[in-house]
Amino acid sequence: MGEIIVVTSGKGGVGKTTTSANIGTGLAAAGHKVVLVDTDIGLRNLDVVMGLENRIVYDLVDVTSGNCRLKQALIKDKRFTNLFLLPAAQTKDKSSVSPEQMETLAKELKEEFDFAIIDCPAGIEQGFRNAIAGADRAVVVCTPEVSAVRDADRIIGLLEAAELRNPKLIINRIRPEMVKRGDMMDISDILDILAIELIGVVPEDESIVISTNRGEPAVLDQGSKAGEAYRRITRRIKGEEVALMNLDVPSGLMDKLKKLVGLR
Amino acid sequence: MTRTEHVALKGTREGLVLYFDPAADFGLLMNELDKLLKNSVQLLQGASVRCYAGNKEYTEDQHIMLATVLEQHQLELAGWLTKEEVYVPGQAKSYATEDRETRLADEGMVEGRCLFVERTLRSGKSVQFEGHVVVLGDVNPGAEIIATGNIVVLGSLRGVAHAGATGERKASVSAYHLAPTQLRIADLVTRAPDEETGGRGPEIARIKDDQLIVEAAGMSGWRGKAR
């Protein structure tokens, strides 16, 4: 029996789709049978980020409305044979799927896959309710901005109201040097308000932009810092205990000397 | 108390009470009531209200009209009070209750209905209660508490709090970490200073000389002695 994990945030642009793609790919790379489900009907992105746009024939709405079988709509990934994508419809809107249909779909996916990663649309309306309908677990993505934290807080409240207890937090796009200067919220500021379990901190990384444009998830890029963060998140989702990534800014020569002689 | 010339709304121990001037024209009363309810930001939506108009009796049509006006503001007409049941301002109360009230007030004690919120209130959550509210957790930015009595938060208060919402100026708001987006007591409103000064310890906000002031709480307790 598989597990349905919804990736959500409330605010747009914080990295839900990137996170979904990387967690899904990471789990598949570890040998699990994984499906990525894009529920952002009308504004689909996950197919582009995965580099699978040109293979779409059927979509989520076709499956839920019975136009095709689930198997027909699933797109096999380029890199992993155990990774699949169920794309969103682009020409319809969020009201073309109901939470009940999503629950039925979730049950079907659970029998087939080890993990189903649901990429949730921004907002708290129908699209959000659809995305969380069949989920067993939730991952909340948040950037170190007051507005994103506010929205994440609201989302956590709504998740709890929907009986999705203990959502996990990923802090995305943090810039250690800005935090050090005091110009950006740090991790403890965010945890102070949200008060949920942190499962990963992803640094701002140019390689994400490159990998998104290329349709190659960063989690596979061994040289990428963000990729390393996602690899650790993937292991944590599987239940392993992994330390948070060290995000310290490389210190100057004087600092190193001081450390050497035990001054700090 | 919130009032216009002929209508007044007051929170009592037994709930909200509307006072009508028995001598005033009914149409005028309805107009003023509508205005009064519209202007009250502290409206306790969904609450039931009882009315008092002395010995004056209204027709059935007028009853229906009153209920409709209340309904428009999400209030429910729960019934009428007689002269014996209501506390009319200025009218002497029975000795027993008066004696007890002064005694409690003397010792800095307040009693009343109380709601315990045994969780953190996150953004978008609103708690409205006729009485005191105690939160065993945080009140995050974007969440609000409206109470006719006092508000106590055993955690960080970062959202909006309105104590004494029906005009009780003796109401207070206290928190382990008091940093509300906005703080209201009765008809006074204040907002947090733009720069946050962290780590001040428990504080209490109340009205003193028509001003909303914030001071350290429990300074005479063990915490105060430790300093």
Question: Mean pLDDT across the stretch B45-64?
Answer: 80
Q: With contacts defined as CB-CB under 8 Å, which chain A residues touch B141?
A: 150, 153, 193
Residue B96 lies in a domain: no
Tokens of A134: 């069949």
Residue B119 lies in a domain: yes
| Percent with pLDDT over 70 in chain A | 94
Domain end: B80, B104, B136, which one? B80
Which pLDDT score is estimated for B223? 46
Whether residues B172 and B215 share a domain: the answer is yes
Q: Which CATH number do you get for residue B60? A: 3.30.750.50
Sign of the C-alpha dihedral, residues B89, B91, B96, B102? Answer: positive
Among A61, A131, A126, A134, residue whose Cα is nearest residue A104: A134
Burial label, B171 (beta-carbon count in 10 A; 0-12, 13-18, 19+): buried
Q: At A48, is the pLDDT very low, low, confident or very high (cuts 50, 70, 90)?
A: very high
Residue B104 lies in a domain: no
Q: At B91, is the pLDDT very low, low, confident or very high (cuts 50, 70, 90)?
A: very low
Give yes or no for a contact between B159 and B142, defined as CB atoms under 8 angstroms apart: yes
| Range list of H helices, chain B | 26-39, 60-72, 95-106, 222-226
Among B226, B184, B224, B223, residue whose Cα is nearest residue B207: B184
Question: Mean pLDDT across the stretch B197-207?
Answer: 82
Q: With contacts defined as CB-CB under 8 Å, which chain B residues touch A153?
A: 122-123, 140-142
* Range with lowest mean pLDDT among A173-182, A246-255, B6-15, B163-172: A246-255
**Average pLDDT along chain A:** 93
Whether residues B121 and B216 share a domain: the answer is yes
| Identity of the residue in A153, A158, A192 whose CB atom sits nearest the CB atom of B142 | A153
Residue A53 is classified by DSSP as G
| Identity of the residue in B138, B142, B156 whose CB atom sits nearest the CB atom of A154 | B142
Question: Mean pLDDT across the stretch B171-189?
Answer: 94
Polymer length of chain B: 227
Q: With an 8 Å Cβ cutoff, are A157 and B125 in contact?
A: yes
How far is B120 from chain A, CA to nearest CA, in Å? 9
Question: Mean pLDDT across the stretch B99-118?
Answer: 74
Whether residues B221 and B122 share a domain: the answer is yes
Residue burial B79-106, b: 16+ Cβ < 10 Å; e: rest: eebeeeebeeeeeeeeeeeeeeeeeeee
Q: With contacts defined as CB-CB under 8 Å, which chain B residues touch A160?
A: 122
C-alpha–C-alpha distance, residues B158 and A192, integer Å: 11
Q: At A197, is the pLDDT very low, low, confident or very high (cuts 50, 70, 90)?
A: very high
Whether residues B131 and B52 share a domain: the answer is no
Give yes or no for a contact between B86 and B58, defined as CB atoms under 8 angstroms apart: no
Which pLDDT score is estimated for A153? 97
Orientation angle between helical segments A225-237 and A16-29, nearest 10 degrees? 70
| Identity of the residue in B124, B141, B156 whose CB atom sits nearest the CB atom of A157 | B124
For residue B212, what are the domain limits?
A: 114-226
Sign of the C-alpha dihedral, residues A144, A146, A148, A150? Answer: positive
Q: Which CATH number do you get for residue B175? A: 2.160.20.70
C-alpha–C-alpha distance, residues B6 and B45, integer Å: 22
| Per-residue pLDDT tens over the stretch B127-168 | 999 999 999 999 999 999 999 999 999 999 999 999 999 999
More confident residue, A176 or B54: A176
Whether residues B126 and B73 share a domain: the answer is no
Question: Mean pLDDT across the stretch A12-24?
Answer: 97
CATH of segment(s) A3-260: 3.40.50.300
Indicate the pTM of the whole model.
Answer: 0.72
Of A193, A194, A196, which to mutate for an interface test with B (greatest number of B Cβ within 10 Å)? A193
| Percent with pLDDT over 90 in chain B | 39
Which pLDDT score is estimated for B64? 84
Q: With an 8 Å Cβ cutoff, are A193 and B158 in contact?
A: yes
Whether residues B70 and B144 share a domain: the answer is no
Which pLDDT score is estimated for A211? 93
ipTM associated with this complex: 0.77
- β-partners of residue A6 are A118, A138
Q: Where are the domains of chain A?
A: 3-260
Sign of the C-alpha dihedral, residues B193, B197, B203, B208? Answer: negative
Give yes or no for a contact between A140 and A9, defined as CB atoms under 8 angstroms apart: yes
Question: Mean pLDDT across the stretch B195-219?
Answer: 82
| Identity of the residue in B120, B123, B156 whose CB atom sits nearest the CB atom of A150 | B123
pLDDT at B63 > cutoff 60: yes
Residue B89 lies in a domain: no
Chain B residues with CB under 8 Å of a chain A CB are 120, 122-125, 138, 140-142, 156, 158
Number of domains in chain B: 2
Question: Mean pLDDT across the stretch B195-208?
Answer: 80
Domain end: B55, B80, B105, which one? B80
* Range with lowest mean pLDDT among A4-18, B13-27, B121-135: B13-27
| Per-residue pLDDT tens over the stretch B74-84 | 788 888 877 76
Q: Chain A to chain B, count of Cβ pairs less than 8 Å apart?
A: 27
